Structures are given as structure tokens and as C-alpha cells.
Amino acid sequence: VERRRLTRELIVAAALAMIDEDGLDALSMRKLGTHLGVDPMAVYYHVPNKAALFDGVVEAVLRELDDELALSPVDVVAAMTAYRDVLRRHPHALPVVSTRPIRTPEALVPFERILASFVEAGFSPPAAVTAMTCAVEYTMGHVIAEAAEPYGGETPYDPELFAGGPEPLDASARYTVGLLSLVDGLRVRL
């Protein structure tokens, strides 16, 4: 649809957009080329294969995170919440982002910022690495679970138990209280 000279950047951006809009399965190398107004095979001149394309997609998502974090220095909760928000913006990309190891040093940049926020919060450098890893893992698991629930209604518990009582927390409130518990607990334990 767009008709400019092809670029890795352009291709990756189009791929992420297609994933966001139509889901991961809707992205094929051929449709990607067609969507860019070019021969289905033209993509292969700029990207060696689909795996490399996915690496680019992960990079793009993490660059969004870095942009967010670069605006101002952030504390631990703000940094992790920014991470959560960026991931939530690309629910269909989560199987890719969560599954591919951080390969490029570029993709690593935002995590160095987050790590700094843990050190700032009083963690020693090795403790900060452990705590950040826990928090990042918690966040990824949370976001995936949230994205995996197409039918919002089901409850994995017997509603009889809650007659008249309080309700379990919604996703955002739950995320925050879990994050605080995790970080504070790790502060005293590491």
C-alpha cells in the first residue's frame, strides 16, 4: 500500500503493524511484501529470513520502551509499569517478544535503564540484577496471561465462596500489588 524504497526499518515496522492488527498468524513473508506494495520476495533482499524479521520486531518493541524510559529518570515502579504498558500495546507480539532471547546489544539498552532504577532503589548491583530479572519475568507472565483471556468472564473459582464478600482484584491493581510485594520482599531478602 505504501510505496517507498524498502528498508529493514520499514519492513520491521510494517511487520509489527500487521501483527498488532491481524495477529501473529496473519503475518507471512509474502503478505508482508505485498502489503509494502512490492514483490512478495523483495523482503528477502533486506532480511535474511523470518527469524531475523522477528528479532527486528523484538528490537522495535524494546525501542519503544527505551523511548518511554528516556523521557525522565524513573523509579522502579514507574520503570516496570512502562514495561508493562509497552507490552500491552502489542499483545499479539508477546509470543515473539517473550520467546526470543535478547540477541542484539540494542535490545538490551532499556534493561540497563531499568537496572539503574533498581540500584537507585537501594539494591546492590548483583541484587539489582536478580530483582530486575524477577520483576521482568513477573511482568511478562502477567501480560501474557492477560492477553490470553479472550473471554473476560470466566472465573477459575467457585463464585459461591464470594457471596457478599469482596471481589478479586482486576489485572492492573493485581499487577501493582504483586510488583510492590515482589520488590519490597526482595529488598529485605537479597
Q: Which residues lie closer than 8 Å to 31 by C-beta, 6 or more apart? A: 18, 40
Rounded least distance, CB 92 to DNA, Å: 15
Q: How far apart are CA 120 and CA 18, in angstroms?
A: 38
Q: Is the dihedral of CA 49, 25, 36, 33 positive or negative?
A: positive
Contacted entry of a copy of itself, DNA, none for residue 58, CB cut-off 5 to 8 Å set by kind: none
| 148 near DNA, rule: CB under 7 A | no
Footprint (CB under 7 A) of DNA, residues 34-63: 38-42, 44-46, 48-51
User: Of all helices (H) and strands (E), which one includes residue 187?
Assistant: helix 171-189
168 secondary structure, DSSP code: P
Task: Give the x/- contact pattern for a copy of itself in 40-79, rule: CB under 8 A.
Answer: ----------------------------------------
Q: Which three cell numbers stand for residue 127?
A: 541484587
List contacts with a copy of itself (CB under 8 A): 94-95, 98-102, 108, 111-112, 115, 124-127, 129-130, 133-134, 136-142, 144-145, 147-151, 154-157, 161-162, 165-169, 174, 177-178, 180-186, 189-190
